[in-house]
């Protein structure tokens, strides 16, 4: 009797658990699936008030005239992938990457080798023709190691090969699922791939003999790969490994261009220092709805690219509002997380996989055409992505740009004196402002620190009731005679500057007036809206529930700068008497929006 009662109770409890589990499995997916939102998205219609004439040039995302062949090279011993095993077209020797691995890194037995024998595996899209052709290496980032990542860039390989670029998607899956300190090893492997291509190019009778233009090389990386391509370009110029000087380098390849897609930053720091790049063209692309790299970390590397040898080069940082992390790789799936976290990703605002790959195709192809093939007609895209509006999906694109012709007047990096400019003999003065300060721009995430970029923050309120305030707020940069002479400003010069909204709750675009004064008192002025908007805050919701996102997000909007270039001739149309060679004052007058707060940076002259 007692035994029967116990069994009956157990049965009732089991039944109750089963019912609750069934309800959970039935209701929770419906609830989770129904909680995504697009209500936070910025209204893109404001862009219609700032039309721009798109480029009259061929769409760089359309396949070119070359047919292509696909090759595979590698160890020939891969047990899991025929293309790098018995089906390999060209065999390569393994390399010893053990000096670049940390104590805690490990190599799973799944692969059948250790860090001292890492394979050089790559899938190649090779244009049919006499050549020589520029060489482009693409490297993936961290992902499930058995969910092979390198096939996910076939869409780029096919496009670029058809346009005359030898394109290689490099296999580094064996470095995935580590602890995050292996990005120097990823960089080393890329450079070893270049050594192989250089050897093939010089080997008599090889199918690639004389077909590779080793003077025109580009590296493309995604996620951790986006960080590692910067390390590779830096290692390329060194004679020794920064963390162990007994490891020698002898590369010195002509790497002209580096592209980072949603990169991380400073997971590896050579000898404890952030990586600095010199004399390479640099492009970084980041999606606003990236739930993996939730901050635009590539802005830090963008700031650490310098041009010092006198040749023309440029760098560009493009923020794609509705892009995420994974959709740049067709093998990584739709969302930036694995089950069960994937259930909570707010997928609704994200552009489709096809649209996101179109973004990559347009920007990457145009960048390579510009920097490796000299197609200067595509250069404006990297000053303002709206110039590619006929080819890009409808979205908000925020672009920073700087080139080797830029002469800085004020970038706010030189000291903590808010009254001095970067150029010697430059003075700064704010008037009728509610905030005037210099500071590093914070990331919106809690744990990523700052963008490592100093700006001046200016806030105004022309609707205050202070009877002593009769003029709108302003910020004036005054140049000494010698500073003006050093800049050599003429009608062909261009005023360059970067501005962004500082208030993460500023949902309408701002405007202001820029005045130029010469030493004879001649004034000319233009509204900033004559060249483009100060973008409003661009809210992002990565998670379907705010309380979950708030665990690691400080603000729902990233602080972003847009670069503007205004020809001096455009100013002179307002007042032909203005003499640019005698420029004395650049004044920002906050008379076109009643109140607001902006970040101002990188004021200078270019041509």
Q: What tens digit of pLDDT does each residue of 557-592 get?
A: 999 999 999 999 999 999 999 999 999 999 999 999
Q: Are 387 and 493 part of one and the same domain?
A: no
Strand partners, 585: 478, 517
Indicate the residue among 403, 429, 459 that finishes a domain: 403
**110 part of a folded domain:** yes
**111 part of a folded domain:** yes
Q: Return the pLDDT at 35.
A: 55
pLDDT digits (tens, 9 = 90+) for 246-260: 999 999 999 999 999
Q: Are 554 and 592 part of one and the same domain?
A: yes
**575 part of a folded domain:** yes
DSSP state string for 304-320: TEE--SSS--EEEEEEE
pLDDT digits (tens, 9 = 90+) for 323-351: 999 999 999 999 988 889 899 999 999 99
Higher pLDDT, 96 or 24: 96
Q: Return the pLDDT at 102.
A: 84
Q: Give the residue numbers spanning the domain of 382.
A: 68-403
Output the domain CATH number for residue 543. 2.60.120.430
- Mean pLDDT rounded to a whole number for the chain: 92
Q: Are 208 and 123 part of one and the same domain?
A: yes
Q: Are 299 and 420 part of one and the same domain?
A: no
Q: Return the pLDDT at 1.
A: 42
Q: Are 282 and 389 part of one and the same domain?
A: yes
- Res. 23: pLDDT tops 80: no
How many other C-beta atoms can be found within 10 angstroms of the C-beta atom of residue 69? Answer: 12
Provide the pLDDT confidence category of residue 464 given band limits of 50, 70 and 90. Answer: confident
The whole-model pTM stands at 0.93
Higher pLDDT, 33 or 69: 69
- Res. 222: pLDDT tops 50: yes
Phi, psi of 107, deg, nearest 5: -115, 115
- Res. 442: pLDDT tops 70: yes
Cβ proximity of 597 and 457 under 8 Å: yes
Rounded Cα gap, residues 90 and 411, in angstroms:
50
Q: Return the pLDDT at 22.
A: 43
- Res. 4: pLDDT tops 80: no
Q: Say what angle helices 183-202 and 224-235 make with each other, to 10 degrees.
A: 60
Q: Return the pLDDT at 465.
A: 56
Indicate the residue among 403, 429, 451 that finishes a domain: 403
- Res. 2: pLDDT tops 60: no
Indicate the residue among 384, 403, 422 that finishes a domain: 403
Q: Return the pLDDT at 186.
A: 97
Q: Are 368 and 459 part of one and the same domain?
A: no
Provide the pLDDT confidence category of residue 547 given band limits of 50, 70 and 90. Answer: confident
Q: Return the pLDDT at 36.
A: 84
Cβ proximity of 423 and 433 under 8 Å: no
Rounded Cα gap, residues 273 and 276, in angstroms:
9
Q: Return the pLDDT at 106.
A: 83
Q: Helix or strand or coil: residue 257?
A: strand
Q: Are 467 and 578 part of one and the same domain?
A: yes
Strand partners, 212: 133
- Res. 467: pLDDT tops 60: no
- Res. 554: pLDDT tops 90: no
Sequence-ordered list of residues with C-beta below 8 angstroms from that of 217, at least 6 positions apart, any chain: 134, 135, 136, 137, 194, 253, 254, 255, 256, 257
Q: Which two structure tokens, joined as six digits, stand for 475?
A: 């910020």
Question: Of 361, 403, 408, 356, nearest to 382 (Cα)?
Answer: 403
Q: Return the pLDDT at 18.
A: 42
Number of domains in the chain: 2
Q: To the nearest whole percent, how much of the chain has pLDDT over 90?
A: 86
- Res. 544: pLDDT tops 50: yes
- State mean pLDDT over 352-367: 98
Q: Are 324 and 411 part of one and the same domain?
A: no
- Res. 426: pLDDT tops 50: yes
**287 part of a folded domain:** yes
Strand partners, 361: none
**30 part of a folded domain:** no
Output the domain CATH number for residue 118. 3.40.50.1820
Q: Are 214 and 242 part of one and the same domain?
A: yes
Q: Are 312 and 418 part of one and the same domain?
A: no
Q: Helix or strand or coil: residue 517?
A: strand
pLDDT digits (tens, 9 = 90+) for 393-417: 999 999 999 999 999 999 999 999 9
Provide the pLDDT confidence category of residue 180 given band limits of 50, 70 and 90. Answer: low
pLDDT digits (tens, 9 = 90+) for 201-220: 999 999 999 999 999 999 99
pLDDT digits (tens, 9 = 90+) for 382-395: 999 999 999 999 99
Q: Return the pLDDT at 181.
A: 78
Q: Return the pLDDT at 280.
A: 98
**26 part of a folded domain:** no
- Res. 236: pLDDT tops 90: yes
Q: Are 424 and 526 part of one and the same domain?
A: yes
Q: Are 223 and 305 part of one and the same domain?
A: yes
Q: Return the pLDDT at 471.
A: 86
**52 part of a folded domain:** no
**286 part of a folded domain:** yes
């Amino acid at each position: 009797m007692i035994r029967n009662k116990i069994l009956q109770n157990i049965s009732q409890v089991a039944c109750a658990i089963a019912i609750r589990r069934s309800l959970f499995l039935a209701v929770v997916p419906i609830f989770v699936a129904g909680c995504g939102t697009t209500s936070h998205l910025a209204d893109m219609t404001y862009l219609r008030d700032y039309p721009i004439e798109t480029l009259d040039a061929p769409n760089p995302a359309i396949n070119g005239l070359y047919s292509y062949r696909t090759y595979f090279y590698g160890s020939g011993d891969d047990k899991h992938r025929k293309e790098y095993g018995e089906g390999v077209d060209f065999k390569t020797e393994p390399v010893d990457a053990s000096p670049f691995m940390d104590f805690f890194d490990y190599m799973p037995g799944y692969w059948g080798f250790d860090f001292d024998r890492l394979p050089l595996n790559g899938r190649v899209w090779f244009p049919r023709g006499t050549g020589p052709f520029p060489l482009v290496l693409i490297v993936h980032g961290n992902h499930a190691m058995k969910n092979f990542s390198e096939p996910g860039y076939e869409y780029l390989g096919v496009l670029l090969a058809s346009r005359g670029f030898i394109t290689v998607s490099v296999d580094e899956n064996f470095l995935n699922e580590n602890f995050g300190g292996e990005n120097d090893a990823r960089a080393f492997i890329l450079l070893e791939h270049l050594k192989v291509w250089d050897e093939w190019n010089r080997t008599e009778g090889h199918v690639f003999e004389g077909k590779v233009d080793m003077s025109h090389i580009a590296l493309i990386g995604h996620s951790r790969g986006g960080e590692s391509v910067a390390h590779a370009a830096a290692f390329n110029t060194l004679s020794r490994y920064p963390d162990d000087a007994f490891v020698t380098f002898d590369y010195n390849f002509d790497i002209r261009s580096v592209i980072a897609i949603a990169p991380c930053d400073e997971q590896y720091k050579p000898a404890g220092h952030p990586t600095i790049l010199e004399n390479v063209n640099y492009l970084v692309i980041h999606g606003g709805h990236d739930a993996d790299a939730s901050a635009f970390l590539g802005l830090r590397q963008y700031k650490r690219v310098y041009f010092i040898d006198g040749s023309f080069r440029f760098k560009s940082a493009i923020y794609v509002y509705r892009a995420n992390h994974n959709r740049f790789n067709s093998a990584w799936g739709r969302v930036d997380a694995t089950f069960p976290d994937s259930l909570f990703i707010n997928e609704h605002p994200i552009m489709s996989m096809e649209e996101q790959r179109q973004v990559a195709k347009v920007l990457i192809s145009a960048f390579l055409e510009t920097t490796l093939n000299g197609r200067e007609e595509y250069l404006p895209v990297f000053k303002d992505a709206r110039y590619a509006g006929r080819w890009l999906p409808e979205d908000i694109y925020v672009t920073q740009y700087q080139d080797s012709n830029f002469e800085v007047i004020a970038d706010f990096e030189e000291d903590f004196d808010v009254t001095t400019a970067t150029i010697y003999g430059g003075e700064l003065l704010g008037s009728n402002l509610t905030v005037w300060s210099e500071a590093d721009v914070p990331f919106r995430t809690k744990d990523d620190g700052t963008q490592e970029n100093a700006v001046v923050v200016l806030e105004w309120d022309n609707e205050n009731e202070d009877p002593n305030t009769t003029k709108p707020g302003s910020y004036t940069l005054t140049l000494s005679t010698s500073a003006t002479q050093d800049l050599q400003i003429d009608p062909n010069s261009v005023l360059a500057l970067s501005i962004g909204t500082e208030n993460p709750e500023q949902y309408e675009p701002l405007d202001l007036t820029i005045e130029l004064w010469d030493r004879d008192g001649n004034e000319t002025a233009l509204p900033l809206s004559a060249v483009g908007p100060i973008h409003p805050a661009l809210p992002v919701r990565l998670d379907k529930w705010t309380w979950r996102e708030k665990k690691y997000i400080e603000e729902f909007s990233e602080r972003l700068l847009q670069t503007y270039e205004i020809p001096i001739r455009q100013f002179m149309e307002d007042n032909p008497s203005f003499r640019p060679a005698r420029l004395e004052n650049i004044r920002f007058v906050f008379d076109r929006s009643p109140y607001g707060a902006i970040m101002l940076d990188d004021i200078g002259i270019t041509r």
